[in-house]
Amino acid sequence: MLESILNFREVEKSPYLTFVWALMISTVGILFSTQLFYRVTISGVSFNLTGMFAVIFTIIPSVYFLTTVIKKEEEQEEKDYEQHKKVGFFERHEKDILMFLFYFFGVTVTFAIWSFILPADFFQVQLVKINEIRAAVAGTGAITGQIVKGDFGSFIAIFTNNFEVMIFAFIFSLLFGAGAVFILVWNASILGTAIGELSKSIFEIPLVTLSFLPHGIPEIIGYLCAGLAGGIVSAAILRCKSSNILKLILIDSLKILLVGVFFILIAAGIEVYF
């Protein structure tokens, strides 16, 4: 039922509706996961895996939404080609990127709020990943995992990590169509958990979130471009109406991917140098 709440005509007119929808489905997903409290012990160390269930239960209703948007994009590209329309990148993909952005930030805000409310180890899986990222940055010369402003090593570490995520988003989306939704929800859960961890009170969450926006928006656009590119290619291969259309879509997807790399570079530059 949750996946059918969105009216795509309304969402195309008002992309911000996906923010509200994302708040709803991720809240339900997290609440469901509280009923599946699960721990594993590895080498004598106990790990709480409940945070992964929260990600999975958020992904399940999201797949239909993402798949529908990607299929519509691929069909629109075919129509533009058949009608000899020349449509620019942002004109063609602007609304879809906005929808996905609002979706991502809706999931992020939900995880931030619940990570502040729920026990400290509820999102232990996400916290382990956050510490790994901090350690990677620390390995470039940063102190205690904090970014050194103006340090080229920090820039390379951040760009490399984000580029790897972007490539995984492309591959997942290419192989599974809506595979990029896992990348989006997983990263939203990590960012949300980090925001909840940094916030001293629940009312401070919006302020902490704002501090991530300057580099967060271009970074997420990069991931979205990769997911969109892979999904469009996947849909085109399955439909495969003609080799000319497939070639056009492959070229357009490559352009989308390159735009994604550009945004990832911009995000890393903002995070380190500004």
Query: How confident is the model over 181-191, as pLDDT tens digits?
Result: 888 899 899 99
Band the pLDDT of 89: cuts 50, 70, 90: low
- The CA distance from 2 to 217, in Å, is 26
Q: List the single range of 43-47, 185-189, 201-205 with lowest mean pLDDT.
A: 43-47
Give the domain extent around 51: 2-273
Mean pLDDT across 201-205 = 88
pLDDT at 144 over 50: no
The per-residue pLDDT for 141 is 45
Tokens encoding 181: 């939704």
- 54, 29 in Cβ contact below 8 A? yes
- 54, 31 in Cβ contact below 8 A? no
Mean pLDDT across 31-43 = 77
Q: Domains in the chain: how many in total? A: 1
Band the pLDDT of 147: cuts 50, 70, 90: low
First to last CA, the chain: 44
The per-residue pLDDT for 248 is 78
For 55-82, the pLDDT digits (tens) are 999 998 888 877 777 777 667 666 766 6
Band the pLDDT of 240: cuts 50, 70, 90: low
pTM: 0.84
Residue labelled with tokens 């990607």: 70
Report in angstroms the alpha-carbon separations of 216 from 171, 175, 191, 201. 22, 26, 9, 22
- 19, 106 in Cβ contact below 8 A? yes
The rounded Cα 205 to chain-centroid distance in angstroms is 19
